[in-house]
Chains A and B, each alone.
Chain A
Amino acid sequence: MELKRIALIGNPNTGKSSIFNHLTGLNQHVGNFPGVTVDKKSGTAQLPSGRKIEVLDLPGTYSIFPRSKDERIVIDVLRDAKNANHPDAVVVIADASNLKRNLLLFTQVYDLQLPLILVLTMQDVAEKKKAELNIAALQKQFENVQMLYVNGRTGEGIDALRIEMDSIQPHTSREKFVDSSVENLLADKSAQAVDAQKRFAEIRKLLLIIQHKKGSNSQNTTSEKLDSLLVHPIFGYVIFIGILLFIFQVIFSIASYPMQWIDGTFLQLSQWTKGLMPAGVFTDLVAEGIIPGIGGVVVFVPQIALLFFFLAVLEETGYMSRVVFIMDKLVRPFGLNGKSVVPLMSSVACAIPGIMAARTISSWKDRIITIMVAPLMSCSARIPVFTLLIALVIPNEQVLGFFNLQGLVLFMLYALGLVSALLVAAVMKFLLRSTDKGFLLLEVPSYQLPRWRHIFITIWEKVRIFIFDAGKVIVAISILLWALASYGPTERMNNAVQKVELAQAENHLSQEEYEKQVNAVKLENSYIGIMGKAIEPAIAPLGFDWKIGISLITSFAAREVFVGSMATIYSVNEDFEEDNSLMKRLKEEKHADTGQPVYTLASGMSLMVFYVYAMQCMATLAIVKRETKSWKWPIIQVIYMGILAYLAALLTFNILS
């Protein structure tokens, strides 16, 4: 059969993603299903015959009948042969250690009459549970279904799966496992419960034939021991906070080394380009606009990779579902749900995947609240802003013996975001009216060691999205900024430069001093200077000057643009040959009128607090619009977060100065 597309389907935690990764390697991409907002993960697999086929990784589900928006796509794709993503064949991934529940989904797909392969995973766990499976006997019960074991961890059995995929045949319609109409069931929820019970009754009978239990069904005792600690009333929370603190400390201390190296490399590259190419507008564009712009993207990769590494490890080991378990009751008074905790924690990396992850929350109200507060969680785009400002205004000292003061301030900023998210959620719970009740019903998987290959692919995927999606915006804005900062109304520019020339004639300034002043007035009178000055009166009470104003304006595209903007603003104003890093330049920055440093503890903290609250991310707003299907929510988000940012920064500046 000419097979073009094959779909993978299975319960969550069956190792489906590992098998997808083994089949496709890095040859995979993330897209969208038309009409809905679920991520479509697909890739290309090479079969032994040399053919290539598309492998579609459907979202993990317990049933083909949707209980949440995330699951709706499964039945749409499988049932409708005209659907653009309809597969020619399906691979059902089932956990052999929990066969009864996994076979429910398998029998549902079996009755859809699609060509089928059943892959059994977790054979090792099943053996530990002393459940011996007669796979040949199972195969006898289902017409035309190839069955095999695959170890998602080691990849054992993947080659056999490829061979099966290569030789899969169309078949005449099968006798249904349970005779029911999918159309009728889709319309009637209570009939779904009856159908599922019928299936379970049949599966039970089947398991008596195919499965031999040797001894008692003993639980994984290591998991039990770990759980007695990790969901402990006191230690559970202490450990959770400890893990978060550890992650932030590690990110802050380790990531700074590669970041400094990247920073230096791009600076050298800039200087080298300037020296090599003939002087002119094009050279300036490359050396002062494009190269620093790309550097400004690449420099965050170490932090983002580290963050996603830790999040993936927490997810992989099974700890994340314990977090849902211990946090559910705690966050419910705030209008959130245990499942909100994972989207909110993901928002610590980036609000965009966080907001998209909120789709698994079936209650509309819980979901909206999670989406609305997710951008308050400190995302990785804030890290460069915080990193720069902390290094600038917070001394690098040890406090209480072993805490790094800079790390502690970073932790406090994250905590401020979290607490604010909870408080806003509580207010929204009160304001939003809704009748539907959310549910939890979450599988708690046994602890397992992380699959490093799987984690590596996750990190690669996230970093790639950052570099190519966010990166485009950052580089584009860096170039735009360079242009806006280099050019201005001609007459105004000329007049300003003339004034400096006159001053030089009177005061006999040194050549160096003269050039600095010319550059300063040029920047001040460029288009960007005009914009920044226009908003200066509004932001002066927060301790910000017009240069910060410029960066605030450009940050509305994305927060991380702040640092790039600063670099561009100051590098235009600075002679490249002198090799002045951004940090040194900012430390020297003084208010023009008073001669006081611009970056003090008060103004630095005020700026950081502003960034905790302000909704400065166009991409997040676009996602919120897409997820809520309305401009209403993103607009409310911009306004409420903007007001919070202004008031909180005002308060911070006045307390500290």
Chain B
Amino acid sequence: MSITLKSYKPGQSGHVKSITANGLAPKLVEMGIYEGQLLKVLYRAPLGDPIAVDVGGYVLSLRLDEAALVQMENEKL
């Protein structure tokens, strides 16, 4: 079981390994989240969800449910 973006804390970054096949997958890719992309969690909403992620120079907010679809390389930079 690899780690997902959901477990990343603000300030941590890592590369995308794969996207779990799901109706949402094409949307995630279109927003720039695809294999090899560097992601950095910037901050969380006051209640811990959603999170704001830097995706190669722009900020994307996504829910933890959605972050759980993003499989990450086994690293937390």
Chain A residues proximal to chain B, CB less than 8 Å:
62-63, 65, 67, 97-98, 100-101, 104, 129, 131, 189-190, 192-193, 196-197, 200, 217, 219, 224, 227-228, 231-234, 236-237, 321, 324-326, 328-330, 338, 437, 439-446
**Is B45 part of the contact surface with A, judged by Cβ < 8 Å?**
yes
**Is B52 part of the contact surface with A, judged by Cβ < 8 Å?**
yes
| Shortest distance from the beta carbon of B68 to any chain A beta carbon, whole Å | 12
Given A437-B65, A440-B61, A441-B66, A227:B31 Cβ within 8 A: no
Q: Is the CB of A62 within 8 A of B48?
A: no
Q: Is the CB of B32 within 8 A of A100?
A: yes
**Is B3 part of the contact surface with A, judged by Cβ < 8 Å?**
no
Q: Is the CB of A441 within 8 A of B46?
A: no
Q: Is the CB of A196 within 8 A of B54?
A: no
A228 to B32, CA, bound (A): 24
Q: Is the CB of A129 within 8 A of B57?
A: yes
Q: Is the CB of B46 within 8 A of A232?
A: yes
Q: Is the CB of A197 within 8 A of B35?
A: yes
Q: Is the CB of B49 within 8 A of A329?
A: yes
Chain B residues proximal to chain A, CB less than 8 Å:
19, 21, 23-32, 34-35, 42-43, 45-50, 52, 54-63, 65-66
Given A190-B26, A442-B60, A101:B49 Cβ within 8 A: no
Select B61's contact among A200, A234, A321, A446, beta carbons within 8 Å: A321
- Point out the residues of chain B lying under 8 angstroms from A98, CB to CB: 56-58
| Shortest distance from the beta carbon of B44 to any chain A beta carbon, whole Å | 8
Q: Is the CB of B61 within 8 A of A325?
A: yes
Q: Is the CB of A325 within 8 A of B50?
A: yes
Of the A-B pairs whose beta carbons lie under 8 Å apart in the complex, a sample of 25, sorted by A's number, is A62-B31, A65-B30, A101-B56, A129-B57, A190-B25, A190-B26, A192-B29, A193-B25, A193-B26, A196-B26, A200-B29, A217-B57, A231-B43, A325-B61, A328-B45, A328-B61, A439-B62, A441-B24, A441-B60, A441-B62, A441-B66, A442-B62, A443-B58, A443-B61, A444-B59
A440 to B45, CA, bound (A): 13
- Point out the residues of chain B lying under 8 angstroms from A227, CB to CB: 42-43, 52
Chain A: interface secondary structure? helix
A412 to B70, CA, bound (A): 43
Residue in chain A with minimal CB distance to B28: A441
Q: Is the CB of A104 within 8 A of B30?
A: yes
Q: Is the CB of B24 within 8 A of A439?
A: yes
Given A101-B32, A196-B29, A328:B50 Cβ within 8 A: yes
A131 to B58, CA, bound (A): 13
Chain B: interface secondary structure? mixed
Shortest 10 CB-CB distances between A and B: which pairs?
A233-B46, A444-B59, A329-B47, A193-B26, A192-B26, A196-B29, A63-B30, A193-B25, A101-B32, A98-B58
Select B45's contact among A104, A193, A326, beta carbons within 8 Å: A326
| Shortest distance from the beta carbon of B69 to any chain A beta carbon, whole Å | 10
Query: By CB atoms of chain A within 10 A, which of B27, B42, B48, B49 has the most?
Result: B27
- Point out the residues of chain A lying under 8 angstroms from B28, CB to CB: 193, 441
- Point out the residues of chain B lying under 8 angstroms from A338, CB to CB: 50
- Point out the residues of chain B lying under 8 angstroms from A437, CB to CB: 65
A441 to B28, CA, bound (A): 8
Q: Is the CB of A444 within 8 A of B61?
A: yes
A442 to B29, CA, bound (A): 13
A407 to B42, CA, bound (A): 39
A104 to B55, CA, bound (A): 14
| Shortest distance from the beta carbon of B51 to any chain A beta carbon, whole Å | 9
Q: Is the CB of B26 within 8 A of A441?
A: no
Given A190-B21, A328-B63, A65:B57 Cβ within 8 A: no
- Point out the residues of chain B lying under 8 angstroms from A232, CB to CB: 46
| Shortest distance from the beta carbon of A388 to any chain B beta carbon, whole Å | 39
Q: A97-B57, A98-B57, A101-B58 are in contact. List 4 more A-B contacts (CB 8 A).
A: A100-B57, A131-B57, A193-B19, A441-B31
Residue in chain A with minimal CB distance to B64: A329
Given A328-B49, A440-B50, A441-B66, A100:B25 Cβ within 8 A: no
A502 to B20, CA, bound (A): 89
Q: Is the CB of B26 within 8 A of A65?
A: yes
- Point out the residues of chain B lying under 8 angstroms from A445, CB to CB: 59
A131 to B66, CA, bound (A): 30
| Shortest distance from the beta carbon of B20 to any chain A beta carbon, whole Å | 11
| Shortest distance from the beta carbon of A99 to any chain B beta carbon, whole Å | 9
Q: Is the CB of B34 within 8 A of A196?
A: yes
Residue in chain B with minimal CB distance to A213: B57
Given A232-B46, A326-B45, A329-B45, A101:B26 Cβ within 8 A: no
A121 to B29, CA, bound (A): 23
A98 to B57, CA, bound (A): 6
A440 to B62, CA, bound (A): 6
Select B52's contact among A62, A233, A325, beta carbons within 8 Å: A325
| Shortest distance from the beta carbon of B59 to any chain A beta carbon, whole Å | 4
A19 to B62, CA, bound (A): 29
Residue in chain B with minimal CB distance to A440: B63
A324 to B61, CA, bound (A): 9
| Shortest distance from the beta carbon of B56 to any chain A beta carbon, whole Å | 6
| Shortest distance from the beta carbon of B47 to any chain A beta carbon, whole Å | 4
Q: Is the CB of A439 within 8 A of B35?
A: no
| Shortest distance from the beta carbon of B8 to any chain A beta carbon, whole Å | 17
A437 to B55, CA, bound (A): 24
Q: Is the CB of A231 within 8 A of B46?
A: yes
| Shortest distance from the beta carbon of B58 to any chain A beta carbon, whole Å | 5
Given A190-B25, A325-B52, A62:B30 Cβ within 8 A: yes
- Point out the residues of chain A lying under 8 angstroms from B48, CB to CB: 329
Query: By CB atoms of chain A within 10 A, which of B19, B21, B52 has the most?
Result: B52
| Shortest distance from the beta carbon of A417 to any chain B beta carbon, whole Å | 24
Q: Is the CB of A100 within 8 A of B56?
A: yes
Residue in chain A with minimal CB distance to B37: A200
Given A62-B30, A190-B21, A200-B34, A443:B59 Cβ within 8 A: yes
A615 to B14, CA, bound (A): 51
A131 to B56, CA, bound (A): 12
| Shortest distance from the beta carbon of B4 to any chain A beta carbon, whole Å | 16
| Shortest distance from the beta carbon of A572 to any chain B beta carbon, whole Å | 55
Given A193-B25, A444-B60, A236:B46 Cβ within 8 A: yes
A67 to B29, CA, bound (A): 12
A330 to B63, CA, bound (A): 12
| Shortest distance from the beta carbon of A180 to any chain B beta carbon, whole Å | 13
- Point out the residues of chain B lying under 8 angstroms from A236, CB to CB: 46
